[in-house]
Amino acid sequence: MHVACAGNAVHLVERVPEGYAVLGGASWPQPGELVLAPGESYRAPTLHAAWSDAGLDGLSARLHAHVRARPAHPSTPRPLTLNVWEAVYFDHDLARLTALADRAAAVGWSASCSTTAGSSPPRRHPGAG
């Protein structure tokens, strides 16, 4: 299951008195995070659920097929991005970065990303933030 929202989410699995199981999920806004003015409404995010008898590979195949079937899904190859931050974190050694760039270029790399944009304040070392 996946609650399609960028915020907090809650998931549940319960067996009800009738003997069957119930699965669910929802967004879980923090106090004050979701304040509606008179006349406004809130639309809950979509809950995506999938099942497979072929393990995680089968589950992944079902979810990928679902995403790729959307009308807005790209039908042409997209640029390959090398996420340097996830690869090396704070170890920005030139030799290591050059080796990563060389390996990425061998498989069609076209853009690089090294950012802590999600961190506030910016993280300058592993112990920060």
pLDDT at residue 29 greater than cutoff 60? yes
Name the pLDDT band for 127 (thresholds 50, 70, 90).
low
What mean pLDDT is predicted for residues 96-112? 83
Three-state SS sequence of 74-104: CCCCCCEEEEHHHHHCCCCCHHHHHHHHHHH
pLDDT score of 114? 57
pLDDT score of 126? 59
Residue that has been written with the tokens 């090396």 in this structure: 88
Tens digits of residue pLDDT in 38-47: 999 999 999 9
Mean pLDDT score of the chain:
85
- Quick one: what percent of the chain has pLDDT higher than 90? 48
Tens digits of residue pLDDT in 69-95: 999 999 888 877 777 777 888 888 899
pLDDT score of 91? 83
**What are the φ and ψ backbone dihedral angles of 10, each rounded to 5 degrees?**
-130, 145
